[in-house]
């Protein structure tokens, strides 16, 4: 294992009805004027937005509304949000939604507190120096942004989707009621479960560092999500399954399942998906499922030991004739799990068919012109081969 820093400052309130406490929580932190940020309309249709606004009003908290965040959130709305927060002198941002709304809120927070153009933090030109506080009412278990240090934005003009990781943006509080996720379309539930599992897989496949406890936590988390996801396919209103998936979503991406690992994981499937998402605007979880198997088979020779441990410890694969066979059976079982959630396991099943030129471009951008990855050292050509294998 390697030394690590585990920082999870978010105040989590979890369970039925916790969103009703939003007024007292926000005013308890001393905020009296806030931005309420949300997505394309699910929070209006479910009545959640109205309930939240009533609670804010009764606690004496003033607010300005900014809706319209789309999945793969856009820099243009972030810039608009920064303008509103500055003009209205707002003190914090309340995100009501999932990863897209939370990430848009974090980007607005960076822009207000750090100044300049917020894309600089995503393009890597500058590091943020501050972030306005962000609070969350979570409506989808997936990205884990409610406790994570990252946010992912799409620059629609540059056709780029990039992440920025910095502890400054970890949310101040997260109100997590599993019942709020029961209105999700089945496809989004599946995308969410896939993303949650993937956040621990990205950390698992890492040469050169781990600890038994971290492996045990990750294995328990992944197995729990796999079991709960199967329940939700049949019974989307099952509270226990919703609750397990929701809490797993936070723990899978707040750093816990990366403690002791080198550089906190591999992240190549994620980075390759971000390139696909930038061009084709696909759902993040589905994009990950479409790419993971091809990535896994490609890097297997460089990281066989971790694949064998994954297959045997997480997926109960009996030892086969060779380590490679054991590992391959683990990959097959993982893909079968994705398919059981109606997730794609190829780009064709995802509904996209990138051209040769697009695959070369995505591989180039993803590699940054160098070598990337912790499960294997991959250059631009390797990434192109993985895209090609995923077709
Ligand atoms: O916009 P509305 O109408 O709210 O609809 C959303 C959206 O269409 C809908 N939805 C959310 N809660 C609902 C609901 N529909 C009915 N009932 C509810 N209770 O679900 C759709 C997807 O929402 P979104 O927020 O996009 O989902 P998710 O949480 O998966 O976030 C995806 C984004 O997060 C990024 C992804 O790249 C993607 O841009 N990620 C962020 C991370 C982070 N900040 O730490 C890490 C992740 O790896 C990921 O990259
Ligand atoms: Zn993800």
Smallest-distance ligand from the CA of 100: 1
Average pLDDT over residues 48-65: 98
52 CA → ligand 2 middle, Å: 27
Q: Is the CB of 145 under 6 A from ligand 1?
A: yes
Q: Is the CB of 189 under 6 A from ligand 1?
A: no
Q: What does the pLDDT look like over 105-161, one tens digit per residue? A: 999 999 999 999 999 999 999 999 999 999 999 999 999 999 999 999 999 999 899
What angle separates helix 186-204 from helix 284-299, to the nearest 10 degrees? 30
Report the atom number in ligand 1 closest to the C-alpha of 101: 25
Q: Is the CB of 180 under 6 A from ligand 1?
A: yes
Split at pLDDT 50, 70, 90, the class of 50 is: very high
SS3 255: coil
305 CA → ligand 2 middle, Å: 24
Class of domain 11-180: alpha beta
283 CA → ligand 2 middle, Å: 10
Architecture of domain 185-389: Up-down Bundle (1.20)
Identify any residues that bridge with 151 across adjacent strands, giving them in sequence order.
164
What per-residue confidence (pLDDT) applies to 74? 97
Q: Is the CB of 270 under 6 A from ligand 1?
A: yes
What per-residue confidence (pLDDT) applies to 146? 98
pLDDT beyond 80 at 60 = yes
Q: What does the pLDDT look like over 206-256, one tens digit per residue? A: 987 789 999 999 999 999 999 999 999 999 999 999 999 999 999 999 999
Split at pLDDT 50, 70, 90, the class of 264 is: confident
Q: Is the CB of 47 under 6 A from ligand 1?
A: no
Phi, psi at 94, each rounded to 5°:
-105, 115
**Measured distance CA(174)–CA(164) in Å, rounded:** 20
233 CA → ligand 2 middle, Å: 20
What per-residue confidence (pLDDT) applies to 379? 98
Q: Using an 8 Å Cβ cutoff, are 22 and 94 in contact?
A: yes
DSSP calls for 271-304? HHHHHHHHHH---HHHHHHHHHHHHHHHHGGGSH
What per-residue confidence (pLDDT) applies to 283? 96
The boundaries of every CATH 3.40.50.1970 domain in the chain are 11-180
153 CA → ligand 1 middle, Å: 12
pTM: 0.97
The boundaries of every CATH 1.20.1090.10 domain in the chain are 185-389
What per-residue confidence (pLDDT) applies to 210? 84
What per-residue confidence (pLDDT) applies to 261? 84
Q: What does the pLDDT look like over 289-313, one tens digit per residue? A: 999 999 999 999 999 999 999 999 9
Q: Using an 8 Å Cβ cutoff, are 110 and 80 in contact?
A: no
**Measured distance CA(317)–CA(372) in Å, rounded:** 29
What per-residue confidence (pLDDT) applies to 181? 98
Cβ-proximal residues to 13 (8 Å cutoff; 6+ apart), any chain: 21, 25, 173, 174, 175, 176
Best probe residue, ligand 1, of 10, 19, 36, 39 (max atoms within 8 Å of C-beta): 39
């Amino acid at each position: 294992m390697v030394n690590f820093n585990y920082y999870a400052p978010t105040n989590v309130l979890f369970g039925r009805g916790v969103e009703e406490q939003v007024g007292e929580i926000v005013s308890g932190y001393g905020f009296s004027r806030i931005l309420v940020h949300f997505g394309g309309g699910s929070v209006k249709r479910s009545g959640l937005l109205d309930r939240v606004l009533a609670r804010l009003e009764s606690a004496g908290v003033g607010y300005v509304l900014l809706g319209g965040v789309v999945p793969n959130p856009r820099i243009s709305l972030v810039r608009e949000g920064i303008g509103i927060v500055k003009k209205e002198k707002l003190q914090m941002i309340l995100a009501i939604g999932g990863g897209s709304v939370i990430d848009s809120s974090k980007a607005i927070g960076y822009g207000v507190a750090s100044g300049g153009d917020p894309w600089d933090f995503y393009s890597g030109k500058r590091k943020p120096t501050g972030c306005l506080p962000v609070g969350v009412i979570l409506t989808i278990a997936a990205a884990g942004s409610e406790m994570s240090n990252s946010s992912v934005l799409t620059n629609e003009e540059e056709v780029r989707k990039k992440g920025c990781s910095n502890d400054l943006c970890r949310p101040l509080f997260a109100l997590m009621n599993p019942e709020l996720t029961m209105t999700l379309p089945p496809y989004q539930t599946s995308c969410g479960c896939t993303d949650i599992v993937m956040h621990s897989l990205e950390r698992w496949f890492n040469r050169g560092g781990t600890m038994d406890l971290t492996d045990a936590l990750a294995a328990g988390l992944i197995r729990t999500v796999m079991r709960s996801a199967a329940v939700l396919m049949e019974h989307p209103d099952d509270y226990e399954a919703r609750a397990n998936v929701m809490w797993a979503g936070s723990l899978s991406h707040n750093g816990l399942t990366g403690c002791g690992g080198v550089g906190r994981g591999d992240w190549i499937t994620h980075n390759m998906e971000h390139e696909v998402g930038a061009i084709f605007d696909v759902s993040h979880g589905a994009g990950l499922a479409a790419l993971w198997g091809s990535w896994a088979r490609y890097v297997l020779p460089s990281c066989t030991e971790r694949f064998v441990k994954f297959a045997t410890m997480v997926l109960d694969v009996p030892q086969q004739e060779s380590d490679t066979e054991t590992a391959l059976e683990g990959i097959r079982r993982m893909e079968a799990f994705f398919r059981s959630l109606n997730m794609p396991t190829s780009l064709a099943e995802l509904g996209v068919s990138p051209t040769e030129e697009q695959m070369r471009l995505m591989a180039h951008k993803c590699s940054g012109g160098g070598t990337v990855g912790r499960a294997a050292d991959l250059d631009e050509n390797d990434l192109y081969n993985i895209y090609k294998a995923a077709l």
